[in-house]
Structure 1
Amino acid sequence: MKIVTFVLCTLLSLKVFSQNKIEKYLDSLDIEVNNSPSYALKKQYEINQLKKNLEAASFLQDKYSFCKRILVEYSKYQADSAQYYLNKWYEYGKQSNDPRWEQEILLYKAYIQTLRSDFTNANHVLSLLPSIENIEPELRYLYARIQFERLLHINNLAENKDSSLNIRIWNKYSPYISPTDVYYSIYYTSLFPQKITDSIYTILKTEAERAPNATPQKAFLQFCLSHLYEIKGDTEQSFIYAICSAITDIQMVNNDSQSMLYIIQLMSQYTGGKDQLGRLYRYTQFCSDNICDYKDLGRSLQLIVIQNQVQKMYKQFISQKQQRYSATLIICLILIIVAAGIAYASVRRYKKKIKDITDVTQDYQQQQSLIPELRRESKIANDKINALEAEIERKNNFFTESLRTQVSLVTKFSQTKKTLLNLITTSQLREAKKLLSDSLLNNNELNQLYESFDEIFLSIHPDFVERFNKLLTPEAQIILESPQKLTIELRIYALVCLGVTDSISIAKLLNYSPQTIYNYRLKIRHASVIPEKDFAKTVMNMYKDNLPDNTTENNE
């Protein structure tokens, strides 16, 4: 038993140590992700120096060389800029006498399109070139590398890899890459991981250590080792090499990188991704930014799949969290119910013991002592009601007087208009000039006065239309065209609600004839669901607590 316990403790401690080691590497990766903008600035500064050299170059050969170097720098950094300098390089190439310039430019064009997973255009460009046997000898290495890069990108996107295609491509193009070249080992291990032996592992690790820092070779070797260690079942080493590859890609500003996507996959599978949701989000956003900058269609599809996995993991985490909260809440509710039940039972037992005639008498006396207090509170409530009614009446009077003043002003200005017109017609220009110092109201201004009345009235009585419609039959319901503008009928009865009940006063306020006002009121009364004789009083008392009495609309 002691031996079993010792073994379990040892395995647990090793697992914790492994997780801590990976966590340290992830912390280093976090630092590099934060420093990525500074690396990009440094990269852009170096490219800008090359651009200055290109502008200063006098000889065509120098321009051709600098343009090619800028293209190479942009090839894994910004594909659009690489395409721009590729076109510029093409123009310089046409002016040179180099017989291989066109083939070299087409190869680089196909290379960039391959890195962006634009296989259709890449295949079209390659179709413009002769077969590898007939191409310029010094360009065959680049041609072979493009074929292998294209195959690796296809394998990354394919669900089921075609092993026979891997063999055909390897047999055809591997002779053009020296076995001592680092990319020979990279392509072989990427295409045939099942054939890797321990000795090859050692060679790859040695080459990865010897490769210069911040170079594509080093990043590629580290990525291959990560993939191979995952196949081998060594998750820790797979993580470490994937993180090292991502750090190398960030340092050299390689936006054509698979390592960060691979890290996200490993984290979601092996490290309890729910505990790393913050990192997963940052890394996913970092990948998304690089892919958008590089416009890589292939990695965009891969990122969508990974994002779906992360989103599913996040939903599971939220669901589990909600389940824990729900369980805690249920337990708390049960405890509260039990406590309430115990308290209730205790109170009942206590009441049964003390309940007697003396208690009934005391309760009666207590109720009697509360009567003066209740009367006082009732009086206070009645005083408040009276004050509110007085306030309502004051506001109603205020709005009525305000409207009466405004209409009077409009009438006065209208008379002034007529007087001015008569003066102009009779050529009394001096008298007309005196009147021009006063501003005249027109119908639009009069409408604005009424709309102002509507807005103020509805702000005080926002449910007036709803209450008014309850007094009408369903087919006679009034619907406002504008939420803050009353119809003529509603405006008439708004005045009635304010206490202006006779049609003559309403006609003066609304600038209509008394007969028109009477006709509108008659139409509304005919559509009433209550007796017509009670309608005006009901509207007038709409915001008062008293019921309508037998007052009729004789004053209409």
Structure 2
Amino acid sequence: MFADAYRTKLMEYYHKGFVSSEDPVFRNLFQYNICKMNNEWEKAILNIDQFINSVPAKTRLKAIGYYCKAFAEGEIGNTENQKKYLALSAIEDIESATTENRSLQELAFLLYKEGDYNTAYRFLGSAIEDANFYNARFRTFQISKVQSIIEKAYMLQINNTNRKLRFSVWMISIMLIILALVTYLVIRQLKIIVKSRKELRSANENLSVLNLKLDEANHIKEEYIGFFINQCSNYLEKFDRYKKLISRRLSTGQLDKLSEMVNNKKNDEMDLDELYQNFDRAFLRIYPNFVEEVNKLLKAEEHYQMKFGTLHTELRIFALIRLGINDSNQISDFLRYSVRTIYNYRSKVKAKSVIENDDFEAEIMRIGSISSA
């Protein structure tokens, strides 16, 4: 009942203000309010736009104009424009040093309805500070009606955020534990792989060495089988000739010539020379760089020079050692020298070396064959 009376009275005052005002700016403001009370929002927006354009910035009037514009936009359902002009009104209040909070209060409530509780809570806090500053009890009462709602929603959002944060922390902790475990397993597996690769590489290297040794052994076997077959063939042929010659001389009674032939040491020496020459040729086909490699182990003034493709006695001894015949007794049987002489030759050559005597024969064994080159 009273509301209708007050409404009629307010409309009467707006008309009187419009008629009596000589300032066209305020006439636009009065006309806006008249249109607002009649729900003529298009006309109201037109009048308030003229009012806004007519008043200077950073003034209380500019703030009022933006607030009125926001109210009209809200009535026609244009919420985005409503928020925009409420924000402009609040800015004008701040820039004009007016501790008014109506615009900020309503903007906070709009943001609350849209779910932006954080911004709404901050804006409402600022509005409360302004209301308390000039002790506006009515404004404080208006704010208190929505403050508890917004504050409750804001705290609920904070709690939800904290709950999500705690959940995220737990999940991150679990993921870090899983990551650490996976990293440990990966590193462990990598170590196993690296170890396996090293073992495989070592096995491959050993296999390569064994293959080289096998190739060398095969090559030596092929060369010396040929060598000994040839020697056996020659000796069989000589033996056959000797047998025929002996048979002939026995049949003719030439015993003196037979005795001379048997006791002829020159023939034995020639046979040995031929044996050693054949051995040298066969050995140097397998180890063509043998003399050069041996010289590398000796002092410069003690180097050997190979003549006519044959080896010196000292080199022949170490050639036999390279073939794996390391026993001095076997070497002496082959070369027709005493064991002491063979030992002296070995010591003599070692004394010429540039390395330790104990390592000399080991280095001889490392000299490669033609098949490993």
Normalising by structure 2, report the TM-score. 0.35
Q: Which has the larger radius of gyration?
A: 2
